């Protein structure tokens, strides 16, 4: 079960593959409607603006369902975040705290309350385990529904798609063909039909043969921040496919809360 929670944290930091197994929820909600043309620079400027809309503090509760080839479980997670500092998650089953996790820019810590043990590793632990690299700030971006890994210094392009507003970090030829450069990481950002929010992200890493997609199905405005209300993630890796959906409850921004995690002296490292 601890591996499930580790995968859950990994999922929270990444995205959804169109080819990955999982629900067809997005297809049920979306209709094929041709959209009015919008200039490329308008879409890029909108995503750049969205990448800067990050509150100092954030709190929410998630109702989640996780599944892979072996497991299908539901659980609840209380999340507290302080921008550029720490991400704290308390995971409960049947209202009983089971796992306590803290992610900082340097360290991942998971305390297993059921088995009296803990994991404490550098952030390269998830890279080594799941073949996908990421940073602490990407967790914040994913939870807040922001464009992950957006860099104002990079060049972006709009993909021609009459049914979607899509911007990518890859050069155009790598979208039209299979890239021969295995170092490329192709990120596609899908804006909502009114171009005011991020609807979906797809990250393809040819080097790791990993594809991840994140869908956001609804949003609400809280203190002038557009916060997701529900979504799902599919991840396809060479080792395994996994799926998670999540629904936000009691979200709150810029209301500082204590972020604290202690490892009891009697706990040993998890095997």
pLDDT digit string (tens) for the chain, length 271 residues = 334 434 444 444 332 222 223 334 544 445 578 999 999 999 999 999 999 999 999 999 999 888 888 878 888 999 999 988 899 999 888 788 888 999 888 888 989 998 899 989 887 776 666 555 567 788 889 899 999 989 998 899 999 999 999 999 765 444 444 444 434 678 899 999 999 999 999 988 777 777 888 999 999 999 999 999 999 998 888 888 888 899 999 999 999 888 889 999 999 998 7
How many CB atoms within 10 Å of residue 213? 25
What's the CA gap between 241 and 234, in Å, rounded? Answer: 7
Question: What burial letters (b/e) apply to 139-165, b meaning 16+ CB within 10 Å?
Answer: bbbbbbbbbbbbeeeeebbbbeeeebb
The CATH number of the domain covering residues in 2-256: 2.50.20.10
Whether the full predicted model's pTM is greater than 0.85, yes or no, is no
- Specify the pLDDT at position 31: 58
- Specify the pLDDT at position 170: 61
- Specify the pLDDT at position 19: 26
- Specify the pLDDT at position 26: 45
What's the CA gap between 137 and 146, in Å, rounded? Answer: 11
- Specify the pLDDT at position 139: 83
Q: Which residues pair with 117 in a beta bridge?
A: 112, 268
Task: Output the six-digit token pair for 53.
Answer: 């809309």
Query: Per-domain residue ranges for the chain?
Result: 2-256
Q: What is the DSSP string of 32-96?
A: --PPPP--HHHHHHHHHHHTT---SEEEEEEEEEEE-SS-EEEEEEEEEEETTTEEEEEEEETTE
Task: Return the SS3 of 124.
Answer: helix
With residues binned 3-state (H G I as helix, E B as strand, rest as coil), the percentages for the chain, rounded to 5, are 20, 40, 40
By C-alpha distance, which of 259, 262, 270, 265 is closest to 104?
259
- Residue 192 CA: distances (Å) to CA of 26, 197, 201, 216, 263: 13, 6, 11, 10, 43
- Specify the pLDDT at position 124: 75
Sign of the C-alpha dihedral computed for residues 38, 43, 49 and 55 taken in this order? positive
Element containing residue 174 per DSSP (H, E) = helix 172-176
What are φ and ψ of residue 148, in 5° steps?
A: -70, 135
- Specify the pLDDT at position 132: 53
What's the CA gap between 184 and 59, in Å, rounded? Answer: 34
What's the CA gap between 191 and 189, in Å, rounded? Answer: 6
What are φ and ψ of residue 142, in 5° steps?
A: -65, -45
What's the CA gap between 155 and 115, in Å, rounded? Answer: 48
């Amino acid at each position: 079960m601890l591996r499930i929670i580790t995968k859950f944290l990994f999922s929270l930091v990444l995205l959804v593959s169109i080819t990955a197994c999982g629900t067809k929820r997005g297809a049920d909600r979306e209709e094929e409607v041709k959209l009015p043309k919008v200039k490329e620079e308008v879409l890029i400027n909108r995503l750049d603006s969205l990448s800067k809309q990050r509150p100092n503090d954030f709190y929410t509760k998630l109702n989640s369902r996780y599944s892979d080839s072996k497991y299908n479980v539901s659980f609840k997670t209380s999340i507290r975040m302080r921008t550029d500092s720490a991400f704290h998650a308390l995971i409960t089953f049947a209202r009983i705290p089971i796992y306590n996790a803290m992610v900082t820019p340097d360290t991942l810590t998971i305390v297993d309350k059921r088995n009296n043990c803990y994991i404490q590793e550098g952030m390269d632990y998830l890279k080594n385990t799941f073949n996908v690299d990421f940073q602490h700030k990407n967790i914040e971006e994913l939870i807040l529904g922001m464009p992950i890994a957006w860099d104002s210094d990079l060049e972006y392009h709009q993909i021609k798609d009459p049914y979607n507003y899509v911007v990518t970090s890859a050069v155009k030829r790598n979208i039209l063909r299979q890239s021969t450069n295995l170092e490329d990481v192709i990120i596609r950002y899908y804006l909502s039909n009114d171009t005011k929010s991020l609807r979906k992200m797809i990250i393809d890493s040819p080097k790791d043969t990993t594809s991840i997609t994140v869908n956001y199905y609804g949003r609400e405005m809280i203190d002038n921040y557009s916060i997701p209300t529900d979504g799902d993630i599919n991840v396809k890796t060479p080792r395994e496919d996994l799926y998670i959906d999540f629904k936000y409850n009691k979200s709150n921004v810029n209301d500082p809360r204590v972020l604290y995690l202690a490892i009891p002296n009697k706990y040993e490292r998890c095997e």
